[in-house]
Structure 1
Amino acid sequence: MKKELLISKENNYSTYNLMEEIRLFTSPLRSKKEQIVEKIEAEISNGTLAIGLKLPSVNQMATSLKFARQTVLDAYQILLSRGIIQSRRGLGYFVAQPMPTLTQKICFLFSRMDNARGSVYEHIRKNLPQDTLLDVFFHYEEQRTLINTIRRVEGLYTILIVDLDKKDILNAYAAGIPNHRIIFMESLPDENNPKLVRKHADKLLQLVSEFT
């Protein structure tokens, strides 16, 4: 079967190569969304994907990789939120800038998302240095999800912030992760008390700064 090559006229680049690289970048420890994000970031870092290069459309990527369209869209949204790619109405997605040099990669592992947790996340995100990456995962207080997520993020982040009230629940599953890389969130105050929520967020920021 003849392989279809998708060529960006602006850059004379075979996007088939990119999708083939993503296809080969499979790992049981990474979701399909993470495979797309991490491989595109890597290709930008090594200069293969230059500034201004047009990326495959969501439909092209989903069809070629046999991924759900929403999976590809979610991956592009992550890259958009990081400012690495940009969307041009009616034209598609393009590489916006080189990958920044990151001094910290922080992972939030939330039990769920509500107003209080959303406020804490936004406050920390806005007050971190620009060379810091902040990602979010959820464990929903399910042990299997918690274990699998920790295994997936191990080694990918410099700091893991865990939203879990009882530390001993996690201890058995944190083998191999140095204690200095884990910050346990204390019980969050009522979301209707924004001052206490802000105080909680400031405390987390202070702990993060002590790890740098």
Structure 2
Amino acid sequence: MLSDKSEKISSHSRTPKYMQVVNLILEEIDQGKLKIGDRIPSINETSFDFLLSRDTVEKAYNELRDRGIITSVRGKGFYVSSTNMENKIKVLLLFNKLSSYKKYIYYSIVETLGDEARVDLQIHHYNMTLFENLLDRYLGEYHYYVVAPHFFDENSHPTTAYDLIKKIPKEKLLIIDRAVKDHENEFPGVYQDFSRDILEALETGISHLRKYQRLILVFPKGELYPWEIIDGFKRFCYFHNFKNLILDGIDDEPLYPGDSFIVLAETDLASIVKKSREQNLKLGQDIGVISYNETPLKEILAEGITTISTDFVHMGKSIAAQILGKEDKIPLKNPFKLYLRKSI
């Protein structure tokens, strides 16, 4: 199997070395050089031939075994058990909800994985008991588990569900959308840093915000938004000496010139746009508004609504790349930026 083996592994490729070994063995099978029942070299033999560490080769063999391509026989070695190249990677997404933004992530993952994987989706609704039940039901049936670790306890306080997440084998686990608090560097995946993101995004628009007398964060009570957003907003206002206020919604009170709003809920955004028209207040001059999370509609609403947002499509692509072995499985902070438009 495989001539000039060491030359087939590139140190400059973005594909991790273990996945290069996987791909080379799959190529041998596809070309008919390896057939069902054929023995492949041992981990030590492949490690020597490819000039790779034993751990790297073992990771490659585990990947092939998880896909059902090879099987191990105690005391004898590894054998080809399937030549079905359509044997797909099985991925289970465990999301907290299926919002329009989560749909962007979902479709980006599915599109990037293409025919190489089968993707299933389950929603845990922020509920740790439901999440635990899903793990009990599906653990061991998938090659990868992609978890959005947004959880709240029975008193609506944020919690990490760390002990439950640890049940998933580390080599099969990827987190998405948020890091596990106090364990940010433990789990690979792609996450938002909600506190840091809002602070740094607002700083990029600070020259536009200076014309307003007060910044108001509209953070709805009862909605399961990340509380770190409040922390980042308070830090920005403190560092840059902005008068500020936090509201849980846009009530029946009128808008006041000189205020600039940062809104999370679409309903609050709609209320501000409607009230500004009723009071003849011009967005971007009399009052300002920044909406959380980018959508195509906000680009054209009211001549353009400024947004602060992570890149959901990029998040999905990055997770898919880690699943496919095209990127290293490490914790990655997803890009977040301010999209400046006429509303401030």
Shorter-chain TM-score category? 0.3 to 0.5
Structure with higher Rg: it is 2
Structure with greater strand share of residues: 2
TM-score of the aligned structures, taking structure 2 as reference length: 0.31
Structure with greater helix share of residues: 1
